Structure 1
Amino acid sequence: MGRLSSSPTIQTLALMSVVTLLYWTLEAVVSFFALSAAPLFALGPTFPATPWTLVTSVYTHAGPAHFVGNAVTLLFVGLLLERSTTTARYHTFFLVTGILAGLTQVMLSDSSVVGASGAIFALIGYVVTANPISEVAFSRLRLTRGVQLVVFALLALLVTALTGAPGVALAAHFAGFLLGLVAGRLHVLEPSSPRSERSRTEEYRV
């Protein structure tokens, strides 16, 4: 139990559960008065007036299917990735990429958004480029940073297209996955040491 409670993935899942249940409960209550709790949790065009929604929107989910889908993916990817980072880095990465993905969706679609999919896509993107196989491939291809970024953008577009469905925040998926690909290439989640930082910088300058 202690090991599970110290897992940043389990902690994130617990936070998602609490915030989402709170949203569902409030939504059920205020609906009797023809009101909605969504503006208190969802990130929308008016977020400067409700700045806390930058955070709540990442952990809030619209319905059971939305929650379960993201929870299962988070468990699969998060438990794999958390072994190579610290709890603080994990939570910071999850929240920051989730916020940036949400802002991308709001700015491009002028609509409100909830859900952790942007952050989860960032975790997936990180795994794609930070693994040993990708490291070997990049070292052999010796692509410039500009070319790598173009490749990442094209890959993010492909993944976004494959996950397209009505009501899906495609811009958030794209932004999250792209952020994850770049972050994985830079190994931002790895506990840093002078030697590792120097080697990664030299490698990325190829």
Structure 2
Amino acid sequence: MVFTRKVGRPRKHVTVKEGREVTRLRKAAWEAEHMAARSERRRARSTENAHWLTRTLSWSGVDCTVNKMFEDTCFDYPLPTDTRLGTLFRQLKNLYLHIDHAFDDAPSRWFADTADVLLRSRGTVLQDHISFLQSVLRCLQPYFHAMDITHDTFGIFFSKEDVWVREAAQMAERVHAWADNLHTILDAWDAGTLKEILPLVTTV
């Protein structure tokens, strides 16, 4: 059997050096052709990053003590006819509404926006945002605690399943989720896993 040398694809260029030079020139021409588009994309990214670096986190805050919240009558909503049930329900509802207001009356959007800002922030700007969230948690901690205690008390006296008990449970669950979100973000920052955790933050 006769073996013959396989003939490959004909060379486009006489020498390897010539081929490399042609390739280099082709790449240079492509770079020059697309330079303007790349510069425009870089400017757009720079503008977007500057927007996020200057963006701050908003928070309405809480303007009264827990005891004042319990007695607050500025909100108008239905109450149970039972006196004791009505008193405890008012305390729960007032706490819930004040905490909800602290998150700009839209906790779901507040946490989503906060996560977005944190994901895009770097360096000292990110550290400032974390310090801000730490102050938010410190401020809200007494109200979160009061919500837990009041709901537990409510459950001791009123375990019958009805519309008031269900609404009380829903309010307590939401407030607990908001507190968990703040703890999750700050714990992730301490553990160095903030960027991985933020997409998982719930928006109850």
TM-score (norm 1): 0.22
TM-score (norm 2): 0.22
**Which is greater in Rg?**
2
